[in-house]
Structure 1
Amino acid sequence: MSAAVPISVPGVGESISEGILAKWLAADGSTVKAGDPLFELETDKATNVVPAPASGVLKVQAAEGDTVAIGSSVGVIDPSGAPAADSKPEPKADAKPAAEAKADSKPAPTPQPKADAKPDQGAEHLSPAVRRVVAEEDVDPSQVEGTGKGGRLTKGDVLAHASSGASAKAAEPATSPAPAEAKAPAPPAPKPAPAKEGRETRERMSGLRQRIAQRLVEAQQTAAILTTFNEVDMTRVMATRAKYKEAFQKAHGVGLGFSSFFIKATIEALKAFPAVNARIEGNEIVYNNYFNIGVAVSTERGLMVPVIRDADQLSFADIEKAIGVFADKARKGAIGVDDLQGGTFTITNGGVFGSLLSTPILNPPQSGILGMHAIKKRAVVVDDQIVIRPMMYLALSYDHRIIDGREAVSTLVRIKDCLEDPERLLLAI
C-alpha cells in the first residue's frame, strides 16, 4: 500500500509566511491526477493555483477561508484510496419512495399544512414594527404568506398583501357600485415600496484585498507622505505619438502609448534626484542604483503593481511590450509574485478612469509614486497668448523623511520638462 502524500502550502515569495486557502478546485474524496489544479492560495501579493503533488484520492484537512502557513499541510492524497461514494444523490432517491409510501398509507392532508407551516402568525408573535403595519392596514396576519425566517411575516409581506387587497377592492365598484349615500374613502397616502429582502450582502475580503488595505494603512502611519502637483502640456508628446504611431507599430509589433514616455521621463528625473528612488531601512537610507519601475494595474482582484525591471536599459518598444505582457496577465489573473517584487518607484494612471486629480499613496518601502491623470483641453497662457492645449495634472507623493520639498518639486519639474520636449528623452539629455 502506498503512503499518503501530504499537500503542503508552497513558498510563493521570500517575504511571505502565510496565505489564505481561498478555494478548493477539487472535491474532498475525489480522484485527482498529479499536476491537476488543487486549490487557490491567496497571499498579500497575488493568487496562486497550487497543483496536486501526486495522483490519488484527495482528503481535505483545511477549509476554504483558513489562514495557512507556508509549508503546512492542508490535506493528503492517497494513491491507493478509493474515491468517496457520492452520498448526496442517493438519499434523495431513497427519500422519495419513502415519502410516497407515507403518502399511500395516510390520507392526503387538508389545506391545514399551510397554516401549520406558519404557527407564529398570531399578533402576539409579530415584531412591533410588523404589528404596527398590520394595525394600520387592517390586515389579518393569518391570511398573509410570510417570507421571513421560519415563515415569519415582514413589513414588506404585509404591505404587499395590503396593496393587492386595495387593488381588488378598487375593482369592486365596477360591478357592485356603492350606495350613493356612502362616502367615498379618501385615497390612501403613497407608501414606500415594500422593503426587499437581502438589502445587504456580505463576503469575505480576499487575502489580496486584506493585504492591500493593511499596506495602505501602514504606509499612511509609517511614512511622512506629502504630495506636490504640477501640470504638463501634452501637445508635443501627442504630436510625436501621432506622427510615428503607425511606423512604430510596423517596426516593433506593438502600439506606442503614453506610458513609455512617462517611464522614460521619470527615469531621467530619478537619475537627477536619487533620493526619490531610495528607501529607508532602519536608520539607513538605501539608494537604488537601478530603476525598477512599478506600473499600477487594476484587476478584478484588486490593485497590483507589476515591475518593469531595469527600465533604464529598455527602449520605448521594450517598455511597451513589457506593459502589454502585464496587461495580458492581469486579464487572465496570471500575474505572479515574482512580477510584483523589487520595485523602486511606482507610476499609477488614474486618468484611464477619468480622474482629474488625486494624491496617490506610497507603495512601501518605496519613497515616491507618480500619479498621471486625464488629459483635458484647457485654456492656458503661452507667450502671453491664451491658447487651448491638452493638459494633464501630475501628482508626486513622496516620503518627506528622506525627500525634501526642493527635491520633490524639482523631480516633478524635470518630468514635466522631458514630456514637453520629448526629443530630450530620445537624446537622453
Structure 2
Amino acid sequence: MVVKAGKRLVEEGLIARTWGNVSCRLSDTLFAITPSGRPYEKLTSEDIVVMNLDDLSYEGNVEPSSEKGVHAAVYRQRRDINFIVHTHQYYASALSPLQTAIEIEGVENTSLIGDRVLSIPYGMPGSKKLSENVATTLSRSKGKAYIMTAHGALCLGVDSEEAFRVAERLEEICANYILKQYRKISQSDSADWLSLRNYYITRKSSKGNDYSCQEPCRFYSSKREDDGFIFPSTVENDKPLSSGDGRPVLINLERDFREWTEGKLDPVLSVHHAVYRFNPTVKAIMHVLSPNVLAISRTGEKMYPMIDDFAQIIGENVPLVKNDPAESTMKVSRQIAWLLKKRSAVLLAGGGALCCGPSEGDTLAAAIIMEKNALAMIISYLFDRGCPLNPLETRLMRTFYLKKYFLKAIR
C-alpha cells in the first residue's frame, strides 16, 4: 500500500524528486514509511521501513524518511488517522509562506477536510521543532489537511484513498483562495492566472526594472556527453544542432575552446560551453520559460527562497543576469557560469531562467521548484504577507543537501 502510494505521489505531480513521503499505521505501536532519498518510481516493498511509534526505532539498513517524526506526531495525536501523505503540491506549497488559516466553504469540502486548513509554524525539514509544531497544531484541530509553512502540505485519512482525496481537494481550495484574493485587490469581476501574473509584472516593473516587453532569447536545453555537450531533439528543443542524419551534433569543449575565447560561438552555444567547462558536476542545462518564472524575470527582481525545497535544491538566491548589448558574449557567458557554481539556476532578464544539475532529473526538479517558488513570490505580494526563509537556515539546508543528496547524484 505504501509503495503504491509513493508512486502515486509522483504520477499526480504532488512531489518533485524524492521530496514528500507516505506512511501507514500498522498497529497501535508500529507504522510503515517510505525511505529517505530513494526514487519513488523504483520503490519496492523491501524499501519500506517499519518504525516503532514510541521511540522511532527500526531494524535493517534502509534509512527512513527524514520526516518520520512528523508522521509519528500525527499518529500519536490522532488515533482516527491510519494514512498520511506529506506532499509538496503546487498551490498549497506556494501559499505556505503566508502562515494563514484558510476557512473552508461548502458542505462537500468541510465533510472531507474540516472547517479550516491550519498553518503549521515553520521548522527545518526533519527537525524536532517541526515535529513539535505539528503535534501542537493538530492538538487544536480535527481537520485532515494542514499547510506546513514554507514547506508543503500534510494530508490525512482513514486510508490512502481518503488521504489522496484530501490532497486533491486541498489544491482546488488553495487555487480558488489565491484567485479570490486577486479579484479583491484588482477589483476585477473575473480572475485567471494570466491576468494575475500581468497584474504582478505591471506593479513590480513600475519600479524601474521593466523587461516585460523584452522578447526572450531561446537558450534551449542541453546535456553533457563524452567530451562535450549536445542539444537533444525534443519538443522544447525545436531547433537543435543536428548532422545530416538527424543526430545531435557534439560540441567539443576542448576542440571549440579557441572559438569560445575569441567570441566566435553564437550566444546560445557560448553560454552552454561556459557552464559545462567551468562546472564539471553539471550534466544538464534547461532553459525555463514557465509562466511564473518568466513573470519574475520580467520584473528585474532576484528570486529568494520562499519554500525550503528552493533553499536546498536551488541555493540561497537566484540573481538576474542582464543581456547588455555593450557586454561581450564571452563575458556574459562567464558571468552565468560563475553564478551557477553556487546555485542551480540564474534568471535571465525578461527571458525566464537557466537551470542546471548533476543529472537531467535533478535539472527538471530544479525547474519545477523554480516555478513553484516564483508563484510563492507572486502570492506573497498579492496578500502583502510572507517573507523569504531565514538566510542562516537557508545556508544550513543548502549545505546539508549538497553533502547528503547532491553527492549521491554525481556518483
Q: What TM-score does the superposition give when structure 2 sets the normalisation length? A: 0.21
- Flag the structure with higher helix content: 2
- Flag the structure with higher strand content: 1
